Amino acid sequence: MSAPTPGLAVRVPFAELQALLQAILQRHGCSAAVAAVLAHNCASAQRDGAHSHGVFRIPGYVSTLASGWVDGQAVPAVTDVAAGHVRVDARGGFAQPALAAARALVVDKARSAGIAVLAIHNSHHFAALWPDVEPFANEGLVALSVVNSMTCVVPHGARKPLFGTNPIAFAAPCAGHDPIVFDMATSAMAHGDVQIAARAGERLAEGMGVDAAGQPTTDPKAILEGGALLPFGGHKGSALSMMVELLAAALTGGHFSWEFDWSGHPGAKTPWTGQLIIVIDPSQAEGGRFAERSRELVEQMQAVGLTRMPGERRYREREVAGRDGVALTEQELAGLRELAG
């Protein structure tokens, strides 16, 4: 669940917010190119009400850049590996500029081979995952992405944390509709939402995490201070989280969620891991009617009573933000202006 920031009070045009975030990121060590990509990503999350990865994350970007843990100037190195395989070394920078650098090549390959994988390593991902896949579906492609993060999730049946919160995002075209998109942590909650609950002084639902002694707790601070999250859905979410470690790290050449040590970089918040994106061209599939079949599926789901598709809440928030501006609190806006200097 992406918890709303309490007291959203001001509305800012998207372009203004994006420019403000870009100024902050450049001032704190990103190149203009990297800052542009991250600012668009973060402003989009705020616009869509994906608050756990909107402007809430900016102080984390700034402290991480200040700590020297991430290279905000990194220029990714793209390798054309094979007919359906592109590799990117993010060179210790962020994952989103690495995706941007390889995007055109991977789309070309998906269209010619029918499927292509984009394997990113040596990368930091501190954002929502849906912005990485949704644009592929807007171009008629199907995309699936996984990224691993930092050790804070206890595998089902284990005693100590090992996995990251390891999200999975999927996007598919749907005739006459916005793409079908879901994006979910494989932990019971995103770490960002635990932080937001702790900041708001709220308790969590049962089953989200354990304290430092491994005992179930509903106190978000106990989870953050020595405790850990649990996978969603017991052994099933745990298996998916394991799959994410394999695909995002073992397959890409990135770090597993436990394999990096940021203790020498106080203020570092961004996991230094890997990301895999699989892009499929459905026009080459049997029948060539994928988007229409998507639509049929959605209609059948609605016919049996479904009133809310994944991604729909974000699209609604996006529509309101397009009309009225992106919502944030006065305190958040003041904090951003201060960081922009």
Q: Which segment (65-73, 183-191, 208-216, 315-323) binds ligand PYC by CB under 6 A?
A: 183-191
Among 48, 89, 193, 281, the active-site one is: 193
Q: How far is CA 47 from the centre of its chain?
A: 15
**Annotation says 132 is catalytic:** no
Among 52, 187, 241, 257, the active-site one is: 52
If one asks whether residue 185 binds ligand PYC (CB under 6 A), the answer comes out as yes
Distance between CA atoms of residues 115 and 266, nearest Å: 41
If one asks whether residue 271 binds ligand PYC (CB under 6 A), the answer comes out as yes
Quick count: other Cβ atoms within 10 Å of Cβ 305?
6
Interacting residues with ligand PYC between 152 and 171 (CB under 6 A): 165
Helix axes 32-47, 58-67, angle to 10 degrees: 150
Q: Which segment (95-103, 155-163, 185-193, 292-300) binds ligand PYC by CB under 6 A?
A: 185-193
Structural tokens at position 296: 């049929």
Which among 338, 332, 341 is positioned nearest to 43, based on CA atoms? 332
Find out whether 274 and 71 touch, Cβ atoms under 8 Å: no
Interacting residues with ligand NDP between 159 and 218 (CB under 6 A): 165, 167, 169, 182-185, 189-190, 192-193
If one asks whether residue 124 binds ligand PYC (CB under 6 A), the answer comes out as no
Hey, which bits of 18-132 come out as E strands? Answer: 77-82, 85-94, 115-124
If one asks whether residue 151 binds ligand NDP (CB under 6 A), the answer comes out as no
Distance between CA atoms of residues 74 and 33, nearest Å: 10
Could you tell me the CA-to-CA distances from 71 to 68, 86, 122, 262, 320 in Å, in that order?
A: 7, 22, 11, 14, 35
Q: How many residues line the site for ligand NDP (CB under 6 A)?
A: 31
Could you tell me the CA-to-CA distances from 45 to 74, 273, 280, 289 in Å, in that order?
A: 23, 21, 25, 31
CB closer to ligand PYC, 126 vs 290: 126
> CB of residue 271 vs ligand NDP: minimum separation in angstroms?
6
> CB of residue 228 vs ligand PYC: minimum separation in angstroms?
12
If one asks whether residue 192 binds ligand PYC (CB under 6 A), the answer comes out as yes
Looking only at the bridges linking them, the beta strands covering 168-172 and 142-147 are antiparallel
Active site residues: 52-53, 193
Residues that bind ligand NDP (CB under 6 A): 1-2, 50, 52-53, 125-130, 147, 149, 165, 167, 169, 182-185, 189-190, 192-193, 271, 308, 310-314
Residues that bind ligand PYC (CB under 6 A): 52, 126, 149, 165, 185, 190-192, 271
